[in-house]
Amino acid sequence: MAQTPRPHHPLSIDDAWAFTVTRAAETTFFFDFDGVLSPVTDDPDASQPAPGVPGVLEQLASAVRRVAIVSARPVSFLRSRFASLERVDLYGLYGLEVWHNGEVVTEPAALPWVPAMDGLAERARTELPDSILVEYKRLSVALHYRTDPQQAGTVERWAHEQAERLGLRIQGGRMVVELKPPVDQDKGMVITEGVRNAGCAWYFGDDMSDIKAFDALRAREAVDPEFFGMAVAVANPETGAEVAGAADLTLASPDAVAEFLAEGLKRF
């Protein structure tokens, strides 16, 4: 039987799913967590997957070669939210941590930065307004100003001062600024490596850091005429327009992501 030709962008959803089904054994689905599998909340610790998400990810993992979550969250957090999933890989802290086959692997170059991040979190709690939520992640520190958007400038100035003082990198996001070690790792690099031997890959994202993942899919398509990448954005009022502009398809919410996958799984 003739192989289904790779769809061209822009494309129809039917074409994208048809190609994916024919290449299921070579396909990986990648998902961001916040804003994609879970609604964004004022308190990051309160975030939970949308009701239909865990079940549909488990089904998807049985239908394709691989399913992975690629998040700014630590692996420990992701495991606490997806404890029931047995066949889903977890990339935490933009790929500095990886949960695969029952083990956590941490990027060695990032480990020496743990004390600096601990000190930075304490400093942020002391020097920034009380309305700023300081999220310490062991290998990074996220400064959330969602409950007080007027503090955005204050948070960004403080973060840049600390980045220069300590030699850190900054990652902006939806009402958040994150300080990270100067280690070459981001979602784009995770996807570049993750699709190296794939014939098809989908990435679902909602924030600026996810555009690098979309770019990685495009780069692989540029050098491999057999590979197909599908970039899916999830709408939001903060970064939605920019992310959607880089995507093939935009879905309305994490609930819509679960519904979209459930409908797609009927094709397998």
Rounded-to-integer distance, Cα 79 and Cα 69, Å: 11
89-131 pLDDT, tens per residue?
Answer: 999 999 999 987 788 899 999 999 999 999 999 999 999 999 9
> What residue type is 34 in one-letter code?
D
Quick count: other Cβ atoms within 10 Å of Cβ 237? 7
How high does pLDDT run on average in the chain?
94
So which residues are the catalytic ones? 32
Asked, as a colleague might, if the bond just before 74 is cis with ω within 30 of 0, I would say: no
* 8 Å CB contact between 5 and 244: no
> What residue type is 2 in one-letter code?
A
pLDDT of 1 > 70? The answer is: no
pLDDT of amino acid 5: 74
The residue among 72, 39, 35, 90 whose CA lies nearest residue 244 is: 35
Count of alpha carbons within 13 angstroms of residue 239, beta-carbon side: 21
Rounded-to-integer distance, Cα 49 and Cα 25, Å: 26
208-229 pLDDT, tens per residue?
Answer: 999 999 999 999 999 999 999 9
Rounded-to-integer distance, Cα 233 and Cα 121, Å: 31
pLDDT of 239 > 90? The answer is: no
Domains of the chain: 13-107+185-265 (3.40.50.1000), 110-180 (3.30.70.1020)
